[in-house]
């Protein structure tokens, strides 16, 4: 299968689409066609790697990966993503925080790392992955590539604008990972990464690519947990599962819409945002109006110009059904705080501030009388946001086993100024 740019000026095989991230014309890659699969196509698939192989195999058929695809899926899909029923009987948590960095991004990062390592298996040149992060991407990419031969990672994160545990997780790796705290905002970090990736000399010398959320190698694997949870719900009840998904760059929610479009038993999709309400406005009005980013307590969703919206707009132009049964709402910091408390009282569950935006949106639906089964997508472990959650609940959030080894390592990150020159100096270029 070939992959086409949303801007129409680039077309390539999966190998290149995975390695370069962004298309040559500045667009985002999408498959040239979408497979049609329904629940019956998965009747023999009972494990996460098995589901991944069936689903993603459609996109990797005929590629370098095809003969090894089954083993690659075994290596890539090691993070459990359980669907956990809450005590009201019709609300579930799709727990995507059991990976090594405690956020859903581990699933995509691990898949991308597995595929790139396979592609590079016969080259002796190191690849440098440059990643700008608002909090969670950096640690997911770092854990996926840590000590992987042939790879170096450079992380840029905004100093003082991530939680204490996020900062630790971004700075604790050493080895092949370089962590840089930038004296600026996430937008500054992103601009530096863009400038670096546009600098031909730098890119060639370091064999540099990025691993941000527009990467197809992160988007495609995120469909797998939607397919797996929808199939298990469908097997148990015969019904479609509805989802409510916290969104920033729209990578996670888009994967759900794509899984639904392919034909899997997924019903309504509701997208929550924090006070950065660009997506909510787009879904309501059909008009996309990017805005300056606002800082919130759900910082991994602080996005004023969601990068994946270009894919959604492009796909919806040909097929309006993608936007059917899709709603969106923005949730402010105060509502996030009170929802974390109410959710804990109601269900005995501790949720992170991002997940709380989804819980708040669902609470609005419930208040309107919607009693259907919904899965709230839990995007990060609350222990990562202990500084927000613990004072609200007056308790200590236990640190999961998966995060403990990292938090016990010493952490240090060099502080640098905003700008490409400061970045070059820090990496001695």
Nearest in space to 81 (alpha carbons), one of 57, 111, 58: 111
Give me the helix-helix angle, 309-318 and 278-285, nearest 10°: 10
Q: Which residues contact 415 (CB under 8 A, 6 or more apart)?
A: 159, 180, 181, 182, 183
DSSP assigned state of 190: H
Is residue 140 classed exposed, middle or buried when 0-12, 13-18 and 19+ CB atoms within 10 A define those classes?
A: buried
Can you tell me the distance from the alpha carbon of 224 to that of 99, in angstroms, rounded to the nearest whole number? 15
Q: How far is the CB of 379 from ligand PLP (least distance, A)?
A: 3
Distance of CA 318 to the CA centre of its chain: 25
Q: How far is the CB of 142 from ligand PLP (least distance, A)?
A: 14
Residue 210 binds ligand PLP, judged by CB under 6 A = no
Residue 112 binds ligand PLP, judged by CB under 6 A = no
Q: How far is the CB of 15 from ligand PLP (least distance, A)?
A: 24
Residue 215 binds ligand PLP, judged by CB under 6 A = no
Is residue 367 classed exposed, middle or buried when 0-12, 13-18 and 19+ CB atoms within 10 A define those classes?
A: exposed
Q: What is the dihedral of CA 424, 426, 428, 429, to 10 degrees?
A: -10
Q: How far is the CB of 103 from ligand PLP (least distance, A)?
A: 4
Q: How far is the CB of 252 from ligand PLP (least distance, A)?
A: 4
Between residues 206 and 303, which has the closer beta carbon with respect to ligand PLP?
303
| Choice from 100, 246, 265, 382 touching ligand PLP (CB under 6 A) | 246
Residue 102 binds ligand PLP, judged by CB under 6 A = no
Residue 179 binds ligand PLP, judged by CB under 6 A = no
For 62, other C-beta atoms within 10 Å of its C-beta total 10
Q: How far is the CB of 277 from ligand PLP (least distance, A)?
A: 14
Can you tell me the distance from the alpha carbon of 64 to that of 66, in angstroms, rounded to the nearest whole number? 6
Q: How far is the CB of 388 from ligand PLP (least distance, A)?
A: 12
Q: How far is the CB of 41 from ligand PLP (least distance, A)?
A: 26
**Contact characters 311-350, ligand PLP, x per CB under 6 A:** ----------------------------------------
| Choice from 54, 92, 98, 105 touching ligand PLP (CB under 6 A) | 105
Can you tell me the distance from the alpha carbon of 111 to that of 23, in angstroms, rounded to the nearest whole number? 20
| Choice from 141, 191, 331, 380 touching ligand PLP (CB under 6 A) | 380
**Residues 351-370 close enough to bind ligand PLP by CB under 6 A:** 354
Can you tell me the distance from the alpha carbon of 194 to that of 240, in angstroms, rounded to the nearest whole number? 40
Can you tell me the distance from the alpha carbon of 382 to that of 240, in angstroms, rounded to the nearest whole number? 28
Residue 248 binds ligand PLP, judged by CB under 6 A = yes
Between residues 113 and 416, which has the closer beta carbon with respect to ligand PLP?
113
Cα 408 to Cα 168, 170, 401: the distances in Å are: 9, 13, 11
**Contact characters 129-148, ligand PLP, x per CB under 6 A:** -------x------------
Give yes or no for a contact between 65 and 53, defined as CB atoms under 8 angstroms apart. Answer: no
Tell me how many residues contact ligand PLP (CB under 6 A): 17
Query: In this structure, are strands 29-31 and 2-5 parallel, antiparallel, or unpaired?
Result: antiparallel
Between residues 241 and 257, which has the closer beta carbon with respect to ligand PLP?
257
Strand partners, 380: 103
Residue 108 binds ligand PLP, judged by CB under 6 A = no
**Contact characters 299-318, ligand PLP, x per CB under 6 A:** -xx-----------------
Q: How far is the CB of 307 from ligand PLP (least distance, A)?
A: 8
| Choice from 247, 268, 276, 296 touching ligand PLP (CB under 6 A) | 247
Give residues in contact with ligand PLP (CB under 6 A). 103, 105, 136, 213, 246-253, 300-301, 354, 379-380
């Amino acid at each position: 299968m070939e992959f086409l740019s949303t801007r129409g000026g680039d077309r390539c095989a999966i190998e290149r689409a995975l390695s370069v991230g962004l298309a040559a014309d500045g667009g985002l890659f999408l498959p040239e066609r979408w497979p049609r699969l329904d629940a019956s196509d998965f009747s023999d698939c009972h494990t996460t790697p098995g589901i991944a192989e069936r689903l993603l195999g459609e996109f990797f058929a005929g590629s370098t990966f095809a003969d090894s695809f089954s083993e690659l899926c075994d290596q890539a899909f090691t993070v459990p993503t359980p669907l956990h029923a809450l005590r009201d009987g019709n609300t579930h948590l799709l727990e995507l925080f059991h990976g090594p960095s405690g956020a859903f991004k581990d699933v995509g990062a691990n898949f991308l790392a597995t595929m790139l390592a396979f592609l590079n298996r016969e080259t002796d040149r190191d690849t440098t992955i440059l990643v700008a992060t608002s909090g969670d991407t950096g640690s997911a990419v770092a854990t996926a590539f840590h000590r992987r031969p042939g790879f170096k990672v450079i992380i840029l994160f905004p100093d003082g604008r991530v939680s204490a545990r996020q900062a630790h997780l971004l700075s604790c790796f050493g080895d092949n990972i370089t962590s840089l705290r930038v004296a600026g905002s996430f937008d500054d970090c992103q601009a530096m990464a863009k400038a670096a990736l546009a600098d031909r000399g730098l890119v060639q010398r370091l064999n540099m690519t990025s691993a941000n959320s527009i990467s197809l190698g992160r988007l495609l694997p995120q469909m797998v947990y939607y397919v797996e949870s929808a199939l298990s719900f469908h097997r148990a009840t015969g019904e479609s599962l509805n989802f409510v998904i916290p969104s920033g760059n729209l990578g996670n929610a888009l994967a759900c819409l794509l899984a639904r479009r392919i034909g899997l038993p997924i019903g309504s999709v509701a997208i929550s945002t924090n006070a950065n309400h660009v997506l909510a406005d787009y879904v309501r009005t059909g008009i996309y109006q990017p805005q300056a980013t606002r800082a919130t307590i759900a910082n991994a969703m602080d996005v004023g110009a969601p990068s994946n919206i270009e894919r959604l707009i492009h796909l919806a132009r040909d097929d309006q059904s993608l936007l059917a049964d899709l709603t969106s709402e923005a949730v402010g910091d105060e509502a996030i705080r009170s929802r974390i408390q109410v959710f804990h009282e109601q269900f005995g569950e501790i949720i992170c501030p991002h997940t709380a935006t989804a819980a708040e949106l669902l609470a609005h639906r419930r208040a309107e009388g919607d009693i259907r089964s919904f899965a709230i997508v839990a995007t990060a472990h609350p222990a990562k946001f202990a500084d927000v959650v613990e004072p609200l609940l007056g308790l200590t959030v236990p640190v999961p086993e998966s995060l403990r080894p990292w938090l016990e390592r010493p952490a240090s990150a060099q502080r640098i100024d905003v700008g490409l020159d400061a970045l070059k100096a820090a990496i001695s270029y």
